[in-house]
Amino acid sequence: MKIPACPFTITDWSEVAPTVHEGEIGSATWRTVNIGDLRVRMVEYSAGYLADHWCDRGHVLLVLEGELETELQDGRKFKLKPGMSYQVSDFGDAAHRSFTSTGAKLFIVD
């Protein structure tokens, strides 16, 4: 990830229009700011959310609220609680998908 040239910017996430993305189960509500090729998001997963795809895009993800279970395509699973993060690159074999039984609020940069 490379942050493109941009001025100092403050984001009031309550003013960013939400978009809803259906999962295999439940939904994800994204508030997204794009800066060139960089995407910065505040994401809320509904309780019971399960992603509808395996993602191979690199991210830095921080759990703000709730609990998130991330499953790698090779079967490994990781449970993240508020204050925990993961980092995964665009390269390698770490395709992943998300699940939450309780719902979760995340901050994601990719």
* CATH code of the domain in which 88 resides: 2.60.120.10
State how far the Cα of 86 lies from the Cα of 72, in Å rounded to an integer: 12
Contact 16, 43 (CB under 8 A): no
Amino acid at the residue 67: E
Interval 91-107: pLDDT, tens: 877 899 999 999 999 99
The parent domain of residue 44 ranges over 18-109
Interval 27-37: pLDDT, tens: 999 999 999 88
- Quick check: is 54 in a domain? yes
Interval 29-72: pLDDT, tens: 999 999 988 999 999 999 999 999 999 989 999 999 999 999 99
Using alpha carbons, list the distances in angstroms from residue 95 to 7, 15, 85, 92, 106.
33, 32, 16, 8, 19
DSSP structure string for 69-100: EEEETTS-EEEE-TT-EEEE-SSSS--EEEEE
Total domains in the chain come to: 1
